[in-house]
Amino acid sequence: MHFISEELENYVAQHSENEPELLARLNKETHQKILQPRMLSGHFQGRVLSMLSKLIRPKNILEIGTYTGYAALCLAEGLTEEGELDTIDNNEELFDFQKKYFDQSQWAGKLHQHLGNALEIIPTLNKKFDLVFIDADKENYINYFQMIVPLMNKGGVILSDNVLWSGKILGEVKSNDKSTNVLLTYNRLLKEDPRVETVLLPIRDGLTVSRVL
């Protein structure tokens, strides 16, 4: 998941904005109590998400894949005064963990948790989005993208995480490795789809920024 040396990663983090105190506590508790803490966006990527959101100034944000809520709180930093964020996850065990930190944040009441299948929940939200973060099951990335594009405001941004998939996208891919094969197709789709313009950033495990035309 890391493509530069630990020393360089530390230097990058030290010369980026500090991790907010609430997020530092969330980060620490995730590593102490939750399985697969590497799924957390973390300090540097979190500051990237925050910066992008602040530049976009979204009214409506959609996040697919909440995990412990770290990325949602980073994205919320750019919300407009009347803005809201909807986040979807299918892990019932993490719901209360997320809510605890959401309720402690300055965006309490603006962060709406949804539990279940994102492909079923998204059509019920009845919103147009300015910013979307896709960070859930890789096998449905294409399905999420196709569902989301018509729901985006012009100029809106779709962020897709883990698109480098620990470098697996460069090696020989087995036919039964569905996640890697889907990501290869997904990355080509984002490059070729005339509805978006895309840049793939080699941040952490790969973060794609796609602007809706």
Tell me the per-residue pLDDT of 181-192, one tens digit each, with 9 for 90 and over.
Answer: 999 999 999 999
More confident site: 148 or 169: 148
Residue 19 DSSP class: P
Q: What does pTM read for this prediction?
A: 0.94
Whether residue 138 contacts residue 179, with contact meaning beta carbons closer than 8 Å, is answered with yes
Tell me the per-residue pLDDT of 6-64, one tens digit each, with 9 for 90 and over.
Answer: 898 889 989 999 999 999 999 999 999 887 877 788 899 999 999 999 999 999 999 99
Cα(191)–Cα(10) distance, rounded to whole angstroms? 31
CA 4 to mean position of chain CA atoms? 21
Handedness of CA 10, 134, 124, 181 (dihedral sign): negative
More confident site: 84 or 5: 84
Strand partners, 132: 62, 158
Backbone angles phi, psi at 113, to 5 degrees: -90, 135
Q: Is residue 84 helix, strand or coil?
A: strand
Cα(64)–Cα(147) distance, rounded to whole angstroms? 12
Q: Can you list the pairs that 31-40 forms with residues at least 24 positions away whose Cβ atoms lie under 8 Å?
A: 33/97, 34/68, 34/94, 34/97, 38/1, 39/67, 40/67, 40/68, 40/70
CB atoms within 10 A of CB 146: 11
